[in-house]
Amino acid sequence: MKKIVFSISFSIIITLSLQAQIAVKADKIYTSAGEPVNNGIVLIRNGKIEKIGNSGSVKIPSGYTVYEAKFVTPGLVDARSEVGLSGDLNIPTDQDQLEKSNPIQPELRAVDAYNPDDTLVGYLRINGVTTIHTGHGIGALVSGQTMVVKTKPGLIDAVTLVPVEMLAMSLGNSVESNYNSPGTSAKEIAMLRTELIKAQAYQLKTDTTKDDGKKPARDLKMEMLGKLLKGELKALIYANKSTEIISAIRLAKEFNLKLVLESAAEAYRLIDEIKKSGAEIIVHATMARPYGDMENMTMENAAILTKAGIPVSIESGFEGYVPKTRVVLFEAAVAAANGMPWEEALKAVTINPAKLLGLDKKIGSIEKGKDADIVLYDGDPFEYTTHVCKVIIDGQLVANNCNQ
């Protein structure tokens, strides 16, 4: 029996070792870190990128599993999603992205609601999305926290990169339709300012009171808003109309918040204001529908901002109907078709969101030492007829769609 157990264990170790050594060959590799590599090879070992170069400079050692493709890109990074909280069934029991009992709930943790086994996580994975910034959704002044996860299979602790990334906030009709108050734009900002002023007082008393017995009672809401005020978390503010975007910028300036504008359908009208504010920006899915707060959207939004020198990340965002999500690969392709330079469009779903999330030393580009998150295609990634053939996350093959 001991011999059998030893034999099985030895086989598992050998198998894992072989899986951890992969060579990817491609006609063209887009690294999102420099010029494309023609006739390129990426070596992967123990979940990391070991080496990258053309076939003249990189040789494949023995024992490596070899995968071939026409094109290769880094794993795609979805800058803002609600996947894992908003399930694919679109019924109350799998919709955890928005708690409607109170319009301001920064204490709600994404890790308490995220489901790594959700069907949509697997759907994104087979379409090349290897990392998502997800969490509580739009429709509340402060709906809760966001998190960053890999889309690979596994329990939540194994797939989580950052358990608390930002605080999700919203302005506009999406809030007013969910609550009796606020009912107007002015009331939205007044309520946010009131809570932030309370948080300032709470934080000051907590920080300056030396006697533990006299410190304020612990308040989860005030704690999280305090982290926002200290710059430990970014304010992720969903705003589409130019008036809402300006209000978000004004609020961030008053309280010295690190601002990330989300969706920002009319950002193209406010180039100078956004630049001056220093706000980072995640634009709505390119193919979003132009109605309501987005009635003045344009598919050229990402291109206009990029050409103005503003780094852009593209989100899948949120869909109120089945299948509940978009694939950022397709959204970036449409952005490229509407004036965004090809490689800038790729950066908008790879290295740009990685930088936005503070994870560009781990993900977002194909460079030595980074996580081996790689997507293999049978053609131009932005061509409609192209297939995502294979997806590798942390050096493991997690999707094989082309059976090659």
- Two tokens at 396? 């493991």
Q: Is residue 5 part of a domain?
A: no
Residue tagged 């087979």 (tokens): 126
**Residues 228, 275 share a domain:** yes
d(C-alpha 386, C-alpha 329), whole Å: 11
Task: State the CB neighbour count (10 A cutoff) for residue 299.
Answer: 17
Task: Please say whether the beta carbons of 284 and 302 come within 8 A.
Answer: no
Residue tagged 């006697």 (tokens): 211
- What is the DSSP code (8-state) at residue 190? H
Task: Please say whether the beta carbons of 139 and 175 come within 8 A.
Answer: yes
Q: Could you give the number of structural domains in the chain?
A: 2
Q: Is residue 285 part of a domain?
A: yes
- CATH code at 281? 3.20.20.140
Q: Is residue 11 part of a domain?
A: no
Q: Is residue 1 part of a domain?
A: no
Task: Please say whether the beta carbons of 344 and 308 come within 8 A.
Answer: no
- Between the alpha carbon of residue 391 and those of residues 67, 130, 211, 345, the distances in Å are 11, 8, 55, 20
Res 214: pLDDT: 87
**Residues 181, 310 share a domain:** yes
Whether the pLDDT of residue 10 is over 80: the answer is: no
Contacts of 175 (CB under 8 A, 6+ apart): 103, 139, 140, 141, 182, 188
Q: Is residue 362 part of a domain?
A: no
Strand, coil or helix: what is 216?
Answer: coil
- CATH code at 385? 2.30.40.10
- Provide mean pLDDT across the span 21-31: 98
**Residues 86, 69 share a domain:** no
Strand, coil or helix: what is 188?
Answer: helix
Which residue range forms the structural domain that includes residue 115? 76-356
pTM of the model: 0.94
pLDDT in tens, 305-323: 999 999 999 999 998 887 7
Residue tagged 């264990």 (tokens): 9
**Residues 176, 119 share a domain:** yes
**Residues 349, 335 share a domain:** yes
**Residues 208, 189 share a domain:** yes
Return the closest-CA partner of residue 34 out of 379, 343, 281, 322: 343
Q: Which helix (H) or strand (E) holds 70?
A: strand 65-74
d(C-alpha 325, C-alpha 316), whole Å: 6
Band of residue 213 on the pLDDT scale cut at 50, 70, 90: confident
**Residues 144, 205 share a domain:** yes
75-108 burial code (b ≥16 CB/10 A, e <16): bbbbbbbbbbbbbbeeeeebbbbbbeeebbbbeb
**Residues 281, 268 share a domain:** yes
**Residues 172, 234 share a domain:** yes
pLDDT in tens, 179-194: 999 999 999 999 999 9
- Do strands 48-54 and 259-263 pair parallel, antiparallel, or not at all (unpaired)? unpaired
- Two tokens at 169? 């906030």
Task: Please say whether the beta carbons of 49 and 370 come within 8 A.
Answer: yes
Lowest mean pLDDT among 80-89, 143-152, 357-366, 387-396: 80-89
Q: Is residue 109 part of a domain?
A: yes
